[in-house]
Amino acid sequence: MDRRQFIAGSMAAGLGAGLGGLLTAGAAGGAPARPVDLRVQAARYPILETVTEGMVSLSPDAPPPVLKVRQGHVFSAAVTNATPDHTAMHWHGIRVPNEMDGVPYLTQVPIGGNETFQYSFTPQDAGTFWYHPHCMTMEQMALGLTGVLVVEEEEDPGFDADIAINLRDFRLGGDGQFIDLYTARGAARGGTRGTVITANWKTELIETVPAGGLVRLRLVATDTTRIYSLAVAGAEGRVIALDGHPLSKPRPLPDMETPLVLSPGQRADLALHLSGSEGHDVTISTRVGGRARPVARIRPVGGDRKRSFEELRPLPRNPISEPDLANAERHDLVFGWSPDGTAPNNGFCGTMGYTFWSINRIPWPGDAAKGTGPLVNMSLGKSYILRLRNESPNQHPIHLHGLTFKALQSNQRAISPHWTDTILLLKNEIVDIAVAADNPGDWAFHCHVIEHQKTGLAGYIRVS
């Protein structure tokens, strides 16, 4: 199949009403689902004291909502583009049919102004995922368009509260308005950091929950650059899932000595038991320049619910195919710097004007470039071990669409394998990952530091 063979979306006009904080969608398997209308549009919001203009969201005056969908139920979204630029929506971590993956030129035509693309898929895996544009990615993500997508388990695990925390930066000046979204210097190194760290677009997020209750906290790193080192203080608890998938053995809560590292694209689900008395907040902090910077507080209120962890149903494992390591085919992928080459040809999807990075020493020639073959050809049903080698002094969160993999070993650290779609490669690190190629299509494979992705560190893997 030719990757230039576009799959056009339905052009049905979206209704696109303004959205509240949360949307629930989904219908029983097979039954026609009522699509949610998502309208990509200009927004403004008081991130600092003054209102920040020129943002991009799904409503004129609020962050992108938490989308709630049900495992095994059809989810349909009519995405209408109400901006003058092009766009396309990607559902990060969800194993969708290829034509629903939202990657411009690879899986669909970019959505032009006033056009609508009809997305529809049935999530097989329950857990914490997210959505973001994959066309004009640098601009639209930096200006706000990153949201949490929750796939609810068929059976309620029994928490008293479920809180999603969307962690991201904005690059704002002292007047609260956007400054340059990136710099060439940043793009050629570790990426350009934001100036304001936020949680759900707030600089000091406070969420209230029932005292003595059990809380599921979903931490989602949606920033274009920042790698978070997170600590949780003030509650008992466990890390119960990473990158959408339950851990077979829950891990202790992170603290400042052993932080939870979440790089762009990664998620963590925490089960917390809140204090039974008011005045005992849980604090989530990230390390900035060696110091703990609080990003969110969870505040117990009301009478003591006296819940205990034993009352929770363990999260059921997701139906992921186990790779057959004994018969796996091996491939090497090298990530490195590459200052030569012209600016990638991204068609309608935005260019940063530079090439700095490469995979297997070839910079990605752009989303709209012609004649670009896959990095790896996989046979449907076979297993693969990919050796990911970082030849650079920068870190790269490497993300694969459409398939879920696990790390096997690293040359620098002990790995306890878990299912994921995004793995952080440390400086000069070599990591082997294993994957069963069970979902056909052309799957984007790139660094999730968007400045790296857009300046060459991108490609795709074909499963056929």
Residues that bind ligand C2O (CB under 6 A): 90, 92, 132, 134, 265, 399, 401, 444, 446, 448
Q: Show Cβ contacts of residue 156 under 8 Å, excluding neighbours closer than 6 positions.
A: 313
Determine the Cα–Cα distance for residues 86 and 349; give it in Å rounded to an integer.
Answer: 6
Nearer to ligand C2O, 267 or 307 (CB): 267
Largest CA distance in the chain: 64
Nearer to ligand C2O, 194 or 397 (CB): 397
Nearer to ligand C2O, 300 or 397 (CB): 397
- Tokens 């978070």 locate to 228
Q: Residues 78 to 117: which contact Cu ion by CB under 5 A?
A: 92
Torsion of Cα atoms, 65 then 70 then 73 then 74, to 10°: 10
Determine the Cα–Cα distance for residues 437 and 289; give it in Å rounded to an integer.
Answer: 41
> How near is the Cβ of 376 to Cu ion at its closest, in Å?
17
Answer with the entry of ligand C2O, Cu ion, none that 452 interacts with (C-beta below 5 to 8 A by kind): Cu ion
Q: Report if residue 449 touches Cu ion, rule: CB under 5 A.
A: yes
Q: Give the one residue of 86, 401, 446, 462 binding Cu ion; rule: CB under 5 A.
A: 401
> How near is the Cβ of 228 to ligand C2O at its closest, in Å?
16
> How near is the Cβ of 401 to ligand C2O at its closest, in Å?
6
Nearer to ligand C2O, 253 or 449 (CB): 449
Determine the Cα–Cα distance for residues 223 and 155; give it in Å rounded to an integer.
Answer: 31
Q: Give the one residue of 452, 456, 458, 460 binding Cu ion; rule: CB under 5 A.
A: 452
Q: Report phi then psi at 310, rounded to 5.
A: -60, -20
> How near is the Cβ of 392 to Cu ion at its closest, in Å?
8
Answer with the entry of ligand C2O, Cu ion, none that 132 interacts with (C-beta below 5 to 8 A by kind): ligand C2O
> How near is the Cβ of 222 to ligand C2O at its closest, in Å?
9
Q: Residues 136 to 165: which contact Cu ion by CB under 5 A?
A: none
> How near is the Cβ of 95 to ligand C2O at its closest, in Å?
13
Q: Are 456 and 449 in contact (CB under 8 A)?
A: no
Nearer to ligand C2O, 159 or 364 (CB): 364
Helix then strand then coil, in percent of the chain rounded to 5, is: 5, 45, 50
> How near is the Cβ of 101 to Cu ion at its closest, in Å?
8
Q: Report phi then psi at 409, rounded to 5.
A: -160, 160
3-class DSSP assignment, residue 150: strand
Q: Are 195 and 172 in contact (CB under 8 A)?
A: yes
Stretch that binds Cu ion, among 108-116, 222-230, 322-330, 401-409 (CB under 5 A): 401-409
Answer with the entry of Cu ion, ligand C2O, none that 449 interacts with (C-beta below 5 to 8 A by kind): Cu ion
> How near is the Cβ of 388 to Cu ion at its closest, in Å?
12
Residue among 338, 454, 449 at smallest CA distance from 399? 449
Answer with the entry of Cu ion, ligand C2O, none that 396 interacts with (C-beta below 5 to 8 A by kind): Cu ion
Determine the Cα–Cα distance for residues 405 and 414; give it in Å rounded to an integer.
Answer: 17
What is the per-residue binding string for Cu ion in 371-400, x denoting contact by CB under 5 A? -------------------------x----
Nearer to ligand C2O, 131 or 354 (CB): 131
Residue among 457, 398, 404 at smallest CA distance from 425? 398
HSE value, Cβ hemisphere, 13 Å, CA-based, for 368: 12
Exposure of 308 by Cβ count < 10 A (0-12 exposed, 13-18 middle, 19+ buried)? exposed
Q: Are 435 and 380 in contact (CB under 8 A)?
A: no
Nearer to Cu ion, 238 or 396 (CB): 396
Which structure tokens are listed for 66? 């938490």
What residues make contact with Cu ion under the rule CB under 5 A?
92, 396, 401, 447, 449, 452
